[in-house]
Amino acid sequence: MKQPTHTEHAMQACIEACSHCHQVCLQTAMNHCLKTGGKHVEAEHFRLIISCAEICQTSANFQLSSSQFSHQLCANCAEVCEACALSCKKIGGMDDCVEACEKCAKSCREMASTQHKA
């Protein structure tokens, strides 16, 4: 059994970060935001947190599938996560979501900057 390479470790960490961020965003939107109402269900914020949940899921799936386009998806995912973290900070009371988004953005930025090797 061969040892996982540095790149494989980094990808597994990024998959975990994306999966966690997907979970926290979806759970926050469909529970905390819907219950709290007001700014939490304004279109701009709510669309962003749902978009973030979805792109994190897709980014994880591309990496799990060893897609040659994983690094592009990661770049995209990082951008959405950063915007979502800002929106959650601005409204407040969603610290878990901010943390998950920032961690995922960082991990995706690293993956996006890695040269793809099939």
Q: Which residues bind a second copy (CB under 8 A)?
A: 15, 19, 23, 26-27, 30-31, 34-35, 37, 41-44, 46-48, 50-51, 54-55, 57-58, 60-62, 64-69, 72-73, 76, 79-80, 83, 118
Which are the contacts of 76, defined by CB distance < 8 A and separation ≥ 6? 55, 59
Which CB, 79 or 110, lies closer to a second copy? 79
To the nearest whole angstrom, how small is the minimum distance from the Cβ of residue 51 to a second copy? 4
Phi then psi for residue 42, to 5 deg, are -65, 145
To the nearest whole angstrom, how small is the minimum distance from the Cβ of residue 106 to a second copy? 19
Q: Which amino acid is at 22?
A: H
User: Token match 């994983």: residue?
Assistant: 70
C-beta of residue 48 within 8 angstroms of C-beta of residue 88: no
To the nearest whole angstrom, how small is the minimum distance from the Cβ of residue 80 to a second copy? 5
